[in-house]
Structure 1
Amino acid sequence: MTDDVLLVHGGTPLEGEIKVRGAKNLVPKAMVAALLGSSPSRLRNVPDIRDVRVVRGLLQLHGVTVRSGDEPGELVLDPSHVESANVADIDAHAGSSRIPILFCGPLLHRLGHAFIPGLGGCDIGGRPVDFHFDVLRRFGATIEKRADGQYLEAPQRLRGCRIRLPYPSVGSTEQVLLTAVLAEGVTELTNAAVEPEIEDLICVLQKMGAMISMDTDRTIRITGVDRLGGYNHRALPDRLEAASWASAALATKGSVFVRGASQREMMTFLNTYRKVGGAFEIGDDGIRFWHPGGPLNAIALETDVHPGFQTDWQQPLVVALTQAAGLSIVHETVYESRLGFTSALNQMGAHIQLYRECLGGTPCRFGQRNFLHSAVVSGPTTLQGAELVIPDLRGGFSYLIAALAAQGTSRVHGIDLINRGYENFLQKLEKLGGKAERP
């Protein structure tokens, strides 16, 4: 199928302006939160991406009316008539996404039962779903494993509990929030994720009537309430997409104004971008990123949970680091298999060596477990066009950046995967002068 293939002609700097809308890591979760309400919710700044379409379909299967609002990128979600959905229909909708597991808590509250099929998502390392089920059991749910998935029941009202996460996982934190808000009593979650998208989800739930407090030590306390209403919310901008275009500007020696990008959620990225030698200018309505000329600087970089350097920022930036003078060290501490994408960059002419050791100041949970989770990038190197197969969402965008920065033409397979998290990326690419076409 040539529909999923893109021919990219490299060597042209990206120049111009694109717009980012609401964060992929918030919008689908805010849509799920609407299930908890007794009245309609209004969500604005919604991007047109596949994950949004998947969740919209799943909500509609469960009786939620979802329609477009008055302004572009606005959804109105009415959960007045929530109902059970057909197992086969759920499976057909959910195959390409991991978000359905977050339906568990809201459906247990609304219907007393839920069904979750096998889950998809990007193959970037272990993202065990067992912990989600363990959490739900702590709240009082019973779970039965069946051939086609997991069947959950809440024989009585779910009850608040104390939970300590072994790692500050975003998905597990979301599961606890979406379940605890209507559970009886107080839930205390320690070692929680505190990403900006988590804070924004808490803002959504608070607008609905939830009682949630966050402490500075990663502790979140949720006091369950008897009922929640709807919300009216504008999603925070997608800082991960904004950083991807910033790295593309740097790697192609271009200049890109990202309308909608926000400084507050990107401070750690901006510091690192400046260290590498990238330039940026922050305005009220966005951030302009550009390559100021001259050589880029090699850096040492460790990914971490927020407020550290986000793992989703790492892959696009590594492409820019292939153009930096000297040895850059990258220590990935969040996903053990996230550096696998570098083999394709080496095929294009990059010099990247992977190591099992923790090549950073912080020993991490992968250090003793035989994972290639550290990289040394030697540059600058001239990249050449190649045949590329996209492995995952951020790796896919990174391949696109590499192809744009390379000499010659690359054939990129699997570009549909990029649609999961980047709205209209082909139109945006064209707007920036990127030379790409379907074969």
Structure 2
Amino acid sequence: MDRIAIIGGAQLNGSIPVSGAKNSAIKLMAASLLTDEPLRLTNMPRLADTRFLGKLLKRLGVEVTESDGPDGQQTLLHAAEITSGFAPYDLVRQMRASFNVLGPLVARSGQAKVSLPGGCTIGARPVDLHLQAIEALGAKIDLHEGYVYAQAPRGLKGAEITFPFVSVGATEHAMLAAVLADGVSVIHNAACEPELVDLQECLNAMGAKVEGAGTPTVTITGVARLHGATRAVIPDRIEMGTYAVAAAMAGGEVRLTNARPGLIDALLDKLKEAGAGVEQTADGCIIRRNGHRLEAVDIETAPFPGFATDLQAQFMALMTTAKGESRIRETIFENRFMHAPELMRLGADISVSGGEARVRGVEQLEGAEVMATDLRASVSLVIAGLVARGETTVSRIYHLDRGFERLEEKLGACGAQVRRIAGDGEPEL
């Protein structure tokens, strides 16, 4: 399998265009199951995760066509007919978000058989809330031999859905199912992430009636059918934040374009507190650091608009060379410090106790061979490698390919010494 090698010490100077958001794109792709007309998505990232979902959608009867259009990379999805309601384990296991085809399949065709997604390296991430939402909408749910059998032969019905805790995936899934339900559905304690607003705008462009996304209460008035539409995927706030951290880590000046800095205010505030320069522009922001060492600052992950858990590993990498001690508290996932031991292989001074990590900044990291354990951990090691003395080699980067498009190209264009070392085969996922 491929590896990435980084020779540390080069500052970053230049521009990095931010790709479309993976976490939004895959839910918009699932929305194509809700209509027999084409859904055209622009600003589409080309990632392992979008390819995985495209493969599953084709299995269900969706025509999936990727191309370069006048608005950049685009994907045309056309589910003229649902030819299968079966989503097998060998496809769903490759990406947990594939499970979200369940609701659209039941909403449109009245039945589905979808594999449970299995385990996850960063925590349990159960789908109980997803199933409770689909059941509340009137579907009969049976679990058997690792599969969910869902039936609603007379269609779904509007319902009140109250989540005991905030879940982005369950909120998205409930929205996808409820748009074709008969009557009004109200989701209480809904997640407020911007990807949910993107989903609402896409569904409404298709003829749905959804209100309140981005707030704790989402109201959906069901419609008889949806039609085709064209929508641009929102810029990826996690990619934007990752490159902002990389620029602060390596030093120099990087302009992030096609970005919405308002989506990562919590991170940008912490970068300013640490001593990095942050300047907003018409289409993004500029991150600067020239010469001085950053100061250690504390963070605590939280649902949007708080500090994103998907940026925690990157920020930990940044703090490994900051002046002083920082405390990093993880409140979203119970097992999301697996990158800490790998950063310690580079010379970082980190101690982990439960949901908190203490990072004592060191003067210099040293290059070493390290291994990615999950998507965000993989890029944290690349960020650390940008300043480590000598060469850092990151293995198992298929994790990274799930969520970062042309990373070597984007960093290399700003002066980073980073290259991909081709392996001898695809990894077992």
User: What TM-score do the two structures reach when normalised by structure 1?
Assistant: 0.91
Tell which deviates more after alignment, 152-161 or 200-209. Answer: 152-161
Give how far 1:381 is off: 3.5
Distance of 2:32 and 2:312 partners within structure 1: 32
For 2:426, the equivalent position in structure 1 comes to none
Q: Secondary structure at the match of 2:344?
A: helix
For 1:317, the equivalent position in structure 2 comes to 315
From 32, 35, 38, give the equivalent of 1:34: 32
For 1:43, the equivalent position in structure 2 comes to 41
| Contact persistence 1:303–1:314 (CA under 8 A) | yes
For 1:273, the equivalent position in structure 2 comes to 271
1:218 has 2:200 as partner: no
Give how far 1:155 is off: 2.9
| Contact persistence 1:345–1:402 (CA under 8 A) | yes
| Contact persistence 1:122–1:393 (CA under 8 A) | no
Q: Secondary structure at the match of 1:73?
A: strand
Give how far 1:148 is off: 5.1
Within a 5 Å distance, the mapping from 1:108-187 to structure 2 comes to: 108-119=106-117, 123-147=121-145, 149-187=147-185
Which letter does structure 2 place at the counterpart of 1:80? A
Which letter does structure 2 place at the counterpart of 1:425? L
Which letter does structure 2 place at the counterpart of 1:341? H
Give how far 1:86 is off: 5.8
Distance of 2:119 and 2:245 partners within structure 1: 24
Within a 5 Å distance, the mapping from 1:50-61 to structure 2 comes to: 50-61=48-59
Distance of 1:54 and 1:396 partners within structure 2: 19
Q: Deviations over 1:40-96 (max 9, x none)?
A: 111110011111111211221111122235333112222212211566xx4343331
Distance of 2:166 and 2:83 partners within structure 1: 33
Q: 1:168 to 1:85 in 2, by over 3 A?
A: closer
Which letter does structure 1 place at the counterpart of 2:97? I
Q: Secondary structure at the match of 1:46?
A: coil
Give how far 1:292 is off: 3.3
Q: Secondary structure at the match of 1:345?
A: helix
From 416, 425, 428, give the equivalent of 1:434: 416
Q: Secondary structure at the match of 2:22?
A: coil
For 1:360, the equivalent position in structure 2 comes to none
1:375 has 2:357 as partner: yes
Q: Deviations over 1:154-188 (max 9, x none)?
A: 23211121121122110010011001111111111
| Contact persistence 2:185–2:221 (CA under 8 A) | yes
Which letter does structure 2 place at the counterpart of 1:16? G
Tell which deviates more after alignment, 241-250 or 92-101. Answer: 92-101
For 1:93, the equivalent position in structure 2 comes to 91
Which letter does structure 2 place at the counterpart of 1:75? T
Q: Deviations over 1:289-335 (max 9, x none)?
A: 12133121221211100111111121111111112111211111111
Tell which deviates more after alignment, 52-61 or 425-434. Answer: 425-434
Give how far 1:216 is off: 8.0
For 1:362, the equivalent position in structure 2 comes to none
User: What TM-score do the two structures reach when normalised by structure 2?
Assistant: 0.93
From 343, 348, 351, give the equivalent of 1:350: 348
Give how far 1:248 is off: 0.9
Within a 5 Å distance, the mapping from 1:240-389 to structure 2 comes to: 240-355=238-353, 372-389=354-371
For 2:407, the equivalent position in structure 1 comes to 425
Q: Secondary structure at the match of 2:323?
A: strand
| Contact persistence 1:210–1:225 (CA under 8 A) | yes
Distance of 1:208 and 1:354 partners within structure 2: 47
Give how far 1:385 is off: 1.1
Which letter does structure 1 place at the counterpart of 2:196? I
Give how far 1:228 is off: 1.1
Identity score, percent: 36
Which letter does structure 2 place at the counterpart of 1:379? G
Distance of 2:236 and 2:288 partners within structure 1: 19
From 379, 391, 403, give the equivalent of 1:409: 391
Q: 1:379 to 1:283 in 2, by over 3 A?
A: same
Q: Deviations over 1:103-153 (max 9, x none)?
A: 111111222211222426851122101221222122222233333522222
Q: What runs of 5+ residues in structure 1 fail to find an aligned partner?
A: 356-371
Give how far 1:403 is off: 1.6
For 1:76, the equivalent position in structure 2 comes to 76
From 373, 386, 391, give the equivalent of 2:373: 391
